[in-house]
Structure 1
Amino acid sequence: MNLSRITPILRSFDEAQTLEFYVGFLGFKVDWEHRFEPGTPLYMQVSRGDCVLHLTEHFGDCSPGSAIRIETSGLDEFHAALLAKQFKYARPGIEDMPWGSREMSIKDPSGNRLTFVGADTP
């Protein structure tokens, strides 16, 4: 038996805000989008490097306000690039946590918390 990579599913409420945050701010790309027909909720996959997320407007798929941790190499550079964008809704900081990791947490427009953890820390 072998367990492989997981793909978190996060709730989203507003397509434009979700794209602005994940693509415009965080630098993910949209891999694909799915709707059962025009005017129905969006389900899509976004990715950046090896990080793959599913974002869904379907209320039965998951609960808003989830939290995920993403191992991140180059955390300081990523942080500087985000701050340089002067994004209106988020200016994240990096924290040195008591358990030894360096982390940057950001909430998306639907209240989900993404914590980027420096890959060189526990």
Structure 2
Amino acid sequence: MSEITFRHPVPVLRVFDVPKAHEFYLGYLGCAVDWEHRFAPELPLYTQVSRGGLVLHLSEHHGDGTPGSVVYTELSGVRALHAELSAKDYPFLSPGLEEDGEIGLTLTLTDPFGNQLRFNEPPAR
């Protein structure tokens, strides 16, 4: 029997406006475009953006993802990320930090399409 090895899942988030998606994911969150795909220039975009270990697929295709989805990501340095984002001129979002002794420190961002990105730094155990 062959060994089964799971890799990190990559969420697919629905987007409706590429310039707004780029403003949020590239300009604000600091991701880079890894690749883009369209079957033809006038057809919907499917793209991968990433920052370090954070990898997301963004899709304009009907049926790919549901607006209002939630992506939960564990990381270290959530305070540094919060400070970095707070220093940026992005008038559509001013996120705070939420602390919970059981789950840790969380920064929640909502993209222009209603998708939530929850960045959580678990407590030291």
Pick from 65, 70, 90 the counterpart of residue 62 of structure 1. 65
Residue of structure 2 in register with 1:73 after alignment: 76
The equivalent residue for 2:47 is 44
Matched, 1:88 2:91: yes
Find the residue that maps to 1:114 and give its secondary structure: strand
Larger C-alpha radius of gyration, 1 or 2? 2
Structure 2 counterpart SS, 1:38: coil
Distance 1:81 1:108 in 2: 17
Residue 104 (1) aligns with residue 107 (2)? yes
- SS at structure 2 position matched to 1:79: helix
Normalised by the length of structure 1, the TM-score is: 0.93
Q: Is the 8 A contact 1:42 1:57 kept in 2?
A: yes
TM-score (norm 2): 0.91
Given that 1:11 and 1:63 are in contact with CA atoms closer than 8 Å, whether structure 2 keeps it comes out as yes
Query: Percent identical across equivalent pairs?
Result: 45
Change (3 A) 1:40 1:99: same
Shift, 1:119, TM fit: 4.9
Aligned length: 122
How far off its partner does 1:28 sit? 0.3
Superposed CA RMSD in Å reads: 1.4
- Structure 1 stretches (4+) deviating beyond 3 angstroms? 119-122
**Cα pair distance change 1:121/1:63, threshold 3 Å:** farther
| CA contact 1:41–1:56 (8 Å) conserved in 2 | yes
Q: Structure 2, unaligned stretches of length 5 or more?
A: none
Contact 2:70 2:118 in 1 (8 A): yes
CA distance in 2 between partners of 1:76 and 1:98 (Å)? 16
Provide the C-alpha distance between the structure 2 equivalents of 1:34 and 1:79, rounded to a whole number of angstroms.
31
